[in-house]
């Protein structure tokens, strides 16, 4: 004996088109395979609801059914067209088209009770400058909400029904009477027991306390690309909080923080470093080891190198993130003046000082250029 279509959809015999549609959508949402995979009866219930909807949403079929019942439809040649589908997933797609659930209940169309995208998660990852130069695989861990495994997200203890919300009697709204200076006002608000769904789990799932979601510690490995800048974000689609009622997951954003490297300052793709060269060596010329991202590199300091002079090591900076050229390493020479001279050094330096002539001074810059250089340093 087939069940009464109005009873299946839980609408009155005088329910209008909109009410029938709303009732079917509500049922379909509960029976969606993503939400209700554990319930072996979901498929049968969905078929039943779909058949009821197919009949009651068609004015002619509904008149026939109202007058002659199931028998009347059969003699009228009606038979549901979706008997041959295998899984409830297939059936669902057949009824709601490709994209199934999302297309039928997508965001925006149904602000409450419909599919909702999960929230985004932001997590920081600190790396060294060297890693930013070469690129690195980094593992981040964070908490994200996921669909509860016990109830598959519908909030009900397995094997227990979802029932009309006793607080709002299934309407999803509650009325509150407020006394004001102008008399009584009735205000409708979203029911805070069922959140506007109109239906709640009779026995809330013990794992998630009926919320349908639980927090889970998650680890994700990401590839930080070479050339990334401090504070840049990497988006990992779909690894944020789980969507609700079949909605898509949110995204994960990894905010890359580059730890300060005391050897280098970053200037775009260029790096700047400072090396100390003792005054006599700067005068005589020498070779010093300059730190680079790939280890120390010997660099020639020409005889007569002046304080603040800059040497450029081409291509020793940061690589470009997308296109462009690799930056340079600028090496600023800090000429140091020897201190705490011993007796012998002092004597040598005194003799050396006495030997200086105007020829030994820097000839290539005037007073203004000197001031500029010193003040800029």
List of residues contacting Zn ion (CB under 5 A): 148, 150-151, 165, 167-168, 191, 193-194, 205, 207-208
Q: CA–CA separation, 37 vs 43, rounded Å?
A: 9
3 state DSSP class of 376: helix
Q: Between 208 and 329, whose beta carbon lies closer to Zn ion?
A: 208
CA neighbours closer than 13 Å in the CB half-sphere of residue 1? 1
Are 256 and 224 within 8 A, CB to CB?
A: yes
Q: How far is the CB of 91 from Zn ion (least distance, A)?
A: 25
Q: Between 132 and 242, whose beta carbon lies closer to Zn ion?
A: 242
Q: How far is the CB of 6 from Zn ion (least distance, A)?
A: 22
Q: How far is the CB of 214 from Zn ion (least distance, A)?
A: 7
Q: Between 37 and 321, whose beta carbon lies closer to Zn ion?
A: 37
Q: How far is the CB of 177 from Zn ion (least distance, A)?
A: 18
Q: Between 164 and 226, whose beta carbon lies closer to Zn ion?
A: 164
| Residue 199 parent element (H or E) | strand 199-201
Q: CA–CA separation, 260 vs 347, rounded Å?
A: 44
Q: Between 171 and 326, whose beta carbon lies closer to Zn ion?
A: 171
Cβ neighbours, 10 Å, residue 337: 8
- Write the CA distances from 182 to 119, 175, 185, 215, integer angstroms: 42, 18, 8, 47
Residues β-bridged to residue 278:
336
Q: How far is the CB of 208 from Zn ion (least distance, A)?
A: 3
Task: Annotate 167-186 with three-state secondary structure.
Answer: CCCCCCEEEEEEEECCEEEE
Task: Let me know the angle formed at the C-alpha of 346 by 343 and 350, rounded to the nearest 5 degrees.
Answer: 140
Q: CA–CA separation, 100 vs 88, rounded Å?
A: 11
Beta strands 252-258 and 265-267 are: unpaired
Q: CA–CA separation, 19 vs 9, rounded Å?
A: 10
Q: Between 158 and 308, whose beta carbon lies closer to Zn ion?
A: 158
Q: Between 106 and 195, whose beta carbon lies closer to Zn ion?
A: 195
Q: How far is the CB of 135 from Zn ion (least distance, A)?
A: 41
Q: How far is the CB of 32 from Zn ion (least distance, A)?
A: 16
Q: Between 133 and 205, whose beta carbon lies closer to Zn ion?
A: 205
Pick from 141, 143, 154, 161: which is nearest to 213 by CA?
154
The tokens for 223 are 């590839």
Q: Between 193 and 278, whose beta carbon lies closer to Zn ion?
A: 193
Q: How far is the CB of 160 from Zn ion (least distance, A)?
A: 11
Q: How far is the CB of 199 from Zn ion (least distance, A)?
A: 8
For the beta sheet containing 265-267, the strands, ordered from the edge strand earlier in sequence to the opposite edge, are 265-267, 270-278, 329-336, 310-313
């Amino acid at each position: 004996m087939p069940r009464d279509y109005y009873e299946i959809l839980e609408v009155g015999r005088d329910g209008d088109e909109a009410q029938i549609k709303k009732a079917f959508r509500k049922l379909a949402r509960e029976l969606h395979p993503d939400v209700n995979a554990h319930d072996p009866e979901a498929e049968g219930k969905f078929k039943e609801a779909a058949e009821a909807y197919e009949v009651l949403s068609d004015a002619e079929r509904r008149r026939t059914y109202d007058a002659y019942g199931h028998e009347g439809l059969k003699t009228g040649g009606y038979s549901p067209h979706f008997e041959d589908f295998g899984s409830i997933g297939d059936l669902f797609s057949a009824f709601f088209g490709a994209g199934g659930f999302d297309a039928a209940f997508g965001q925006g169309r149904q602000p409450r009770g419909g599919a909702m995208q999960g929230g985004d998660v932001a997590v920081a990852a600190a790396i060294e400058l060297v890693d930013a130069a070469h690129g690195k695989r980094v593992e981040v861990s964070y908490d994200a909400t996921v669909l509860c495994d016990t109830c598959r997200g519908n909030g009900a203890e397995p094997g227990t029904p979802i029932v009309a919300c006793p607080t709002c009697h299934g309407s999803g709204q509650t009325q509150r009477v407020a006394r004001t200076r102008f008399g009584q006002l009735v205000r409708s608000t979203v029911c805070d027991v069922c959140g506007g769904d109109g239906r709640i789990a009779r026995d809330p799932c013990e794992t998630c306390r009926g919320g349908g979601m639980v927090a889970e510690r998650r680890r994700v490995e990401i590839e930080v690309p070479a050339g990334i800048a401090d504070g840049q974000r990497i988006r990992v689609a779909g690894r944020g909080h789980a969507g609700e009622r079949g909605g898509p997951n949110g995204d994960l954003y990894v905010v890359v923080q580059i730890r300060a490297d005391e050897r280098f300052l970053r200037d775009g793709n260029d790096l700047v470093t400072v090396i100390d060269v003792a005054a006599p060596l700067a005068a005589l010329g020498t070779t010093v080891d300059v730190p680079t991202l790939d280890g120390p590199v010997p660099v020639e300091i020409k005889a007569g190198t002046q304080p603040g002079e800059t040497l450029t090591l081409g291509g020793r900076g940061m690589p470009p993130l997308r296109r462009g050229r690799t930056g340079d390493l600028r090496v600023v020479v800090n000429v140091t003046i020897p201190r705490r001279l011993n007796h012998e050094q002092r004597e040598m330096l005194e003799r050396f000082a006495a030997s200086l002539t105007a020829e030994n001074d820097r000839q290539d810059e005037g007073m203004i250029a000197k001031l500029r250089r010193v003040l800029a340093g």
